Chains A and B, each alone.
Chain A
Amino acid sequence: MTETVKIIVVVFLLIGAFFSLVAALGVVRLPDVYTRNHAASKSATLGVMVILIGTFIYFYAAGHSNTRLLLALVFIFLTSPVGGHLINRAAYYSGVKLWDKSIRDDLKGKVKIRNFEK
Chain B
Amino acid sequence: MKNKDIILQTIAKVVFFIIILFSIHIFFEGHYRPGGGFVGGLVTAGGLVLLLLAYDLKTVKKLMPINFRILIGIGLAVALLTASAAMLFDVPFFTHAFDYFDLPLLGETSLHSAALFDLGVYLVVVGTTMTIIQTIGESE
Which residues of A pack against B, CB within 8 Å? 68, 71, 74-75, 78-79, 82, 85-86, 89, 93
Closest to B11 in A: A82
In the complex, which of the residues A68, A71, A86, A93 contacts B8, with contact meaning CB atoms closer than 8 Å?
A86
Number of B residues near A (Cβ < 8 Å) is: 9
Q: Is B5 an interface residue (CB 8 A)?
A: yes
Question: From DSSP, what is the main secondary structure of chain B's interface residues?
Answer: helix
Q: Are A93 and B11 in contact (CB under 8 A)?
A: no
A residues in contact with B81, CB < 8 Å: none
Q: Is B7 an interface residue (CB 8 A)?
A: yes
CA distance A75 to B20 in the complex (A): 13
Q: Are B3 and A79 in contact (CB under 8 A)?
A: no
Q: List 11 A-B contacts (CB under 8 A).
A: A71-B22, A75-B18, A78-B14, A78-B18, A79-B11, A82-B7, A82-B8, A82-B11, A86-B8, A89-B5, A93-B3
Q: Are B5 and A86 in contact (CB under 8 A)?
A: yes
Closest to B26 in A: A68
Q: Are A79 and B5 in contact (CB under 8 A)?
A: no
